[in-house]
Amino acid sequence: MATIKVRQHGPLLVDGEEVTLVDWEGRQYPIDRRPFVLCRCGASAERPFCDGSHRRIEFRSAEPAPE
């Protein structure tokens, strides 16, 4: 089972052993460690992975789940 956690003002944290990340043509991205983080701010030089750029650009976004 995979879990994707939306981090406040940060990336998406993806946790789970049976997760495959593929591009629009079905090619797999290598995943070197678990959990891994996906960029939400668009500023990462490592996209689709997060490189911490959200801190530098002061990315602000918070989408809480509905109650």
Please state the domain extents for the chain: 10-17+31-67
CB 51 within 8 A of CB 59: no
| Tens of pLDDT, residues 4-23 | 999 999 999 999 989 999 99
- The pTM of this model reads 0.89
Q: What percent of the chain has pLDDT over 90?
A: 87
CB 39 within 8 A of CB 9: no
Residue 2 has which token pair?
């995979």
Provide CATH code, domain 10-17+31-67. 3.40.5
